[in-house]
Amino acid sequence: MRFYIRKGLLTPTTNGKGGRNPYQVFTSEHVRAARFIRTAQSLGLSLKELAVIGEERRRGRITPARQINILGAQLAKLEAKAEEMDAMRRYLRAKIDWIAGGAQGTPPDFEKYAQPLAHSMVATCSWTADAPLV
């Protein structure tokens, strides 16, 4: 929580108790925001991106179109990552099978498995804080 506060993602109130270091008061809205941050991080959004989204939301400038833009870009990143993981998984299975078979013949070539990734990595787009708010 302290980290989120330092990054400006959470802004708890203080109750005046605690002397030089007053106690911070967290509401149910703060708890909801912290859960949102954790979920968004698990989906691959950075704290910097979350700060931008939070600021846009607080200013009332996060339109449905902007939300679609942000979520669509993140979905594209996750889909590209899933393809990358699938290629690695297929390579590792082939390598294990090759070793289990006595390492006969030519070993699996990772480049063969990674070729489809080059296309998906180029196609992956990302939203930016500078993107127009629609």
| Position 114 pLDDT exceeds 90 | no
Across the range 44-54, mean pLDDT stands at 86
Taking CA atoms, 45 is separated from 88, 95, 100, 110, 132, in Å, by: 23, 33, 39, 29, 19
Opening angle at CA 76, ends 70 and 80, nearest 5: 150
Residues 74-81, mean pLDDT to the nearest whole number: 90
Higher pLDDT, 123 or 99: 99
Going by pLDDT thresholds of 50, 70 and 90, the confidence category of residue 132 is very low
Residues 6+ apart with CB under 8 A from 78: 43, 44
The more confidently predicted of residues 14 and 119 is 14
pLDDT per residue as tens digits for the range 83-109? 999 999 999 999 999 999 999 999 999
Task: Write down the pTM of the prediction.
Answer: 0.62
Q: 56 is written with which tokens?
A: 């846009």
CA 69 to the chain's CA centroid: 15
